[in-house]
Chain A
Amino acid sequence: NAGVTQTPKFQVLKTGQSMTLQCAQDMNHNSMYWYRQDPGMGLRLIYYSASEGTTDKGEVPNGYNVSRLNKREFSLRLESAAPSQTSVYFCASNGQDAEQYFGPGTRLTVT
Chain B
Amino acid sequence: LAKTTQPISMDSYEGQEVNITCSHNNIATNDYITWYQQFPSQGPRFIIQGYKTKVTNEVASLFIPADRKSSTLSLPRVSLSDTAVYYCLVGDMRGGQAGTALIFGKGTTLSVSS
Contact = CB atoms under 8 A, between A and B. Distances in A.
A15 to B, nearest CB: 25
B contact residues, range? 20 to 34
Contacts of B106: 40-42
Contact of B44 (A41, A43, A51, A56): A43
Interface in B22-70: 32, 34, 36, 41-46, 49
Given A43-B44, A104-B43, A105-B43, A98 B94 contact: yes
B43 A96 contact: no
Interface residue range, chain A: 20 to 34
A96 B94 contact: yes
Contacts of A59: 100, 103
A44 interface: yes
B105 A31 contact: no
Given A33-B102, A42-B87, A59-B103, A95 B96 contact: yes
B44 A94 contact: no
B44 A100 contact: yes
Contacts of A43: 44, 87, 104
A30 interface: yes
Given A42-B87, A98-B49, A104 B99 contact: no
Nearest to B41: A105
Interface of B: 32, 34, 36, 41-46, 49, 87, 92-100, 102-107
Interface of A: 4, 29-31, 33, 35, 40-45, 48, 50-51, 56, 58-59, 90, 92, 94-105
